Chains A and B, each alone.
Chain A
Amino acid sequence: MPPRGPRLGERRFRALGTDCHLLAVEGSGERLDVAVDHISTAHRRLTRFESESELSRLNAAAGGWHAISTDLEALLQAALRSWEETAGWVHAGVLPALLAAGYTRPLRLGAGLAHPPPEPPPPLPAMLSVRPGRARLRAGTALDLGGIAKGWLADELAGWLAPNCLVNLGGDLFARGGGPDDAGWPVRMAGVTLLLRDQGAATSSSQRRSWSSAGGPKHHLIDPRTGRPSESDLAEVSVVATCALEAEMWAKTGLLLGSERAPLVLIGRTLGFWLERKPRAVALSA
């Protein structure tokens, strides 16, 4: 009789507008189910596409103080830290720019009409104040927590789910422990298989969550300097870091910086990275 390997529990589902994948070695099925419920609850709380979500209510209350949950408070603090650490490249305050670009609803329903871009957002600490149990947004501003929420949730959940588990929320993932064979969790990134152990990884790409509009092709990665979809020469950046939030933060920053400056910033701040340039346009002559 062959030796039995460790039992691997798994759940795949849609939440946070993306594909989610949970894995746990010798983890209880009940814990996995609770984790799925937790992510689904977080989705309802943090989506910007539902007017009754906690995030939408905070956005609607811009201009005054608004009561917030502990989770949202922690997430807003993470957004402020991400802004600070990346010197403004990761900016949760680009929702007006996303809406103007036509990202007004889930893209499976088709993009909305694009409008001229708004003014670039002010520095995040100038538009968002967070105190215990409450937050205030500057009038006329609004937040989209997108990638920050996925990275933050992946880290939080992996810390709770099991000593040996992997939480992948739309490509922002944290691998805790040594995986099924104790050699590291095998994760596909940049065409190779990485063996991650207590490490996070994420990919940022302008090729996905992209759409066409009358003004040309658009995507969801907004350059906070311009309030427009980034014109970076990079199509994709993947990062390995000490946690999922760091990986998400630096992958986005790298992509926005472009191929010349990204390596200089990512070396020393990440555990590894992959850069892929956009295909070069071919010049046609008569």
Chain B
Amino acid sequence: MRPARLKAATTLLTVGFTCLAALYVNAHVKNSAAPLHPAVVNRPSAPASQPESSLNLSPSVKTGDVTPVTSTYAS
């Protein structure tokens, strides 16, 4: 009988701690202590120092010499 009791107690303890852990995780926000700092993507192409202004476009963004129909500047 004793091994069976031990097994039962171990199982109960495991289930109990699993439930407690789940409760703890759900009750705590994922990033509650986050320093509000998004993970940085390290790319060699990132410029080391910035001029007063800089434009960086991926190849999927085309430019043209036509009259724009609208602008991102609005108030």
Contacts and interface: CB of A to CB of B under 8 A. Distances in A.
B61 A199 contact: yes
Nearest to A126: B29
B5 interface: no
Contact of B71 (A180, A187, A259, A261): A187
Contacts of B39: 87
Nearest to B52: A277
Nearest to A266: B56
Nearest to A264: B40
B56 A253 contact: no
B42 A264 contact: yes
Contacts of A260: 50
Given A87-B38, A126-B32, A202 B72 contact: yes
A208 B73 CA distance: 10
B46 A267 contact: yes
Interface string B10-35: 00000000000000000001111010
A211 interface: no
B64 interface: yes
A187 B62 contact: no
Interface string A84-117: 1011110000000000000000000000000000
A188 interface: yes
B54 A275 contact: yes
Nearest to B75: A208
Which 5 A-B residue pairs are closest in the complex by CB-CB distance?
A: A272-B57, A188-B71, A188-B68, A171-B74, A88-B36
Given A191-B55, A194-B57, A274-B54, 6 more contacts: A89-B38, A171-B73, A187-B72, A202-B72, A266-B56, A272-B57
